Amino acid sequence: MELFKPGRQYDFMGQRKFWITLSISLVVISTFLVFYPGPNYGTDFRGGTEVEVAFEKPIDAAQVREAVEQSGFESPDVVQVVDANHPWRFIIRVPDVTVVTDELKEQLRHALCWAPEGAVVDSNACPDSARASEVKFSLGGDKIIARYDVPPDLETIRHQVQSVAGVSLRNNQNNPQIVNPRDHRVEIQLQSKGDQLMESLRSHLGADVVPEHALRMEWVGPKAGKQLRDSARNSVALAIVFIMLYLALRFDMRFAPGVVLACVHDAMVVIGVFIVLHKEITLSTIAAVLTIVGYSMNDTIVVYDRIRENLSKHRGMSFWSIINLSVSETLSRTILTSGATMLSVVAFFIWGTGVIKDFALAMVIGIIAGTYSSIYVAAPFTEWVDEMMTRRGKKKGKPARRAAIKA
């Protein structure tokens, strides 16, 4: 299917100065925004507790935020989610991760009668059935695993934990419970930050407004968040490096920088738009950026492949003219491919919710940026690199050489 008359050429290279200036401006602005005000990292990257709640009665974000702050949580983020099935659905994020500090851990070990090997323990206050020989805490601090030398007394263990101020047992009939009778291993579930947040909301807003259970409850520690952030950055960088190596082997070294520049351009534009719109940068956003990098590269490869074919067909034409001819010949394919992809992505953006909506937004921006960067970023930069290498060859007394052609 041809959208444009076959054989017609358009002077894309003649308009390159405007588009290159625009692209440089967008990348510079995006780079500045990365440092100030900086990305709005989601819980995946910065750590914290995230609770998604569908309230039973009408309520606004200000009321929810006030109730969270009155519960003792500092700097909460409250975001309303557009959902026809749950009109009062909110995502609440707090920087707190665990209820069990190092000080509380020591108090809980002491309450559970744990003592270092060789230490003297009062047998009257700590009978064998309530004297833990091992105590371990989960990363989130909402679970304790204790091991005993004899069959444990669960009721006594319950009272031991409840005697420590600042922690509460999760409401559950089987809490604590024996998880391994052979090793006399006991699991004790504590209220997490998410549980405490829900309980506080019910006390401040009323049980008729706050549901008994949250739709979703997640937490990520600050160390894990930093590791995820570093891994996300490295994954994008490695993808671009391997793309450059592939193009250097598949085409010619002078083709590779143009694609890398286009991929970096597309990724920075997406990040910049997300910062301007105060959208969260999450693992889903990074997945969208990697998808965009691959999409942009594929579109650029099509143009490069046509340039390589035309270099062998039209040896008398300048590289400038070859680019105009090649882009014109692939223009219908580019518009049809990008248009078809855009239709499906826009549908997700319009009717999607939450993570899917943000992913679709990143894809919409990336498709637009990737389509024009293949024409006005990668191709012009390749022509500039070819010209610089040709001039350098002339200065060294070598014969002028056009862009390499590989089978």
DSSP string, 112-127: TT---TT----TTTS-
The answer, yes or no, to whether residue 404 has pLDDT greater than 50, is: no
319 and 337 assigned to the same domain: yes
* Residue 150 shares a structural domain with residue 134: yes
Tell which of 145, 168, 190 closes a domain.
190
Domain boundary among 168, 190, 212: 190
Query: Looking at residue 28, what is its pLDDT?
Result: 93
**Residue 407 — very low, low, confident or very high, per pLDDT cuts 50/70/90?**
very low
Asked whether residue 63 falls in the same domain as residue 202, the answer is yes
Of the listed ranges 46-60, 143-157, 245-259, 283-297, the one predicted with least confidence: 245-259
> 171 and 304: one domain?
no
Q: What is residue 405's predicted lDDT score, i.e. its pLDDT?
A: 44
Strands (E), 46-128: 48-54, 77-81, 89-94
Query: What average pLDDT does the chain have?
Result: 82
Q: Which two tokens stand for residue 223?
A: 């160390």
pLDDT in tens, 190-230: 887 888 888 889 888 988 899 988 888 887 765 666 777 77
Residue 53 sits in a domain of what CATH number?
3.30.70.3220
> Residues 285, 185: one domain?
no
Task: Clarify whether residues 345 and 370 are in a common domain.
Answer: yes
Per-residue pLDDT at 29 exceeds 90: yes
Output 118 or 165, whichever has higher pLDDT: 165
State the amino acid at position 100 in one-letter form: V
Q: Check whether residue 182 and residue 310 sit in a common domain.
A: no
Per-residue tokens: 56: 């039973």
Joined together, the tokens standing for residue 268 give: 């920075």
Mean pLDDT of 44-61: 85
**pLDDT for residue 6:** 66
Is 150 found in the same domain as 54?
A: no
In this structure, is residue 315 part of a structural domain?
Answer: yes
Do 278 and 369 belong to one domain? yes
Distance (Å, whole) CA 318 – CA 322: 6
* Domain identity same for 117 and 69: no
Q: Is residue 2 part of a domain?
A: no
Over residues 259-293, the pLDDT tens digits come to: 888 888 988 999 999 999 888 888 888 888 888 88
Task: Tell me which residue has tokens 């600042």.
Answer: 166
- Do 165 and 304 lie in one domain? The reply is no
403 domain-assigned: no
In-domain check, residue 281: yes
Predicted confidence at residue 353, as pLDDT, reads 67
Q: Are residues 214 and 86 in the same domain?
A: yes
Residue 8 lies in a domain: no
In the structure encoding, which two tokens stand for residue 40, read together?
A: 């709005």
Q: Residues 141-168: what's their mean pLDDT?
A: 87
Domain range for 165 is 102-190
Kindly report, residue by residue over 107-139, the tens digit of the pLDDT. 999 889 888 876 767 777 788 888 988 999 887
Query: How many domains does the chain contain in total?
Result: 3
**The predicted structure's pLDDT at residue 273:** 92
* % of residues, the chain, pLDDT over 70: 90
Which has the minimum average pLDDT: 29-33, 162-166, 376-380, 401-405? 401-405
pLDDT of residue 251: 67
Whole-angstrom distance, CA of residue 111 vs CA of residue 131: 9
User: Does residue 388 fall inside a structural domain?
Assistant: yes
Cβ atoms of residues 343 and 224 within 8 Å: no
Domain end marker among 145, 173, 190: 190
**Confidence band, pLDDT 50/70/90 cuts, at residue 406:** very low
Write the pLDDT tens digit of every residue in 328-379.
888 888 888 888 888 989 998 888 766 788 889 999 999 998 888 888 888 8
Token pair for 81: 């989610």
Judge whether residue 106 has pLDDT over 70: yes
Kindly tell me if the per-residue pLDDT of 34 is higher than 60: yes
Query: Does residue 109 form part of some domain?
Result: yes
Query: Would you say the pTM of this structure is higher than 0.85?
Result: no
Q: Residue 407 falls within a domain, yes or no? A: no
CATH label of the domain that carries residue 309: 1.20.1640.10
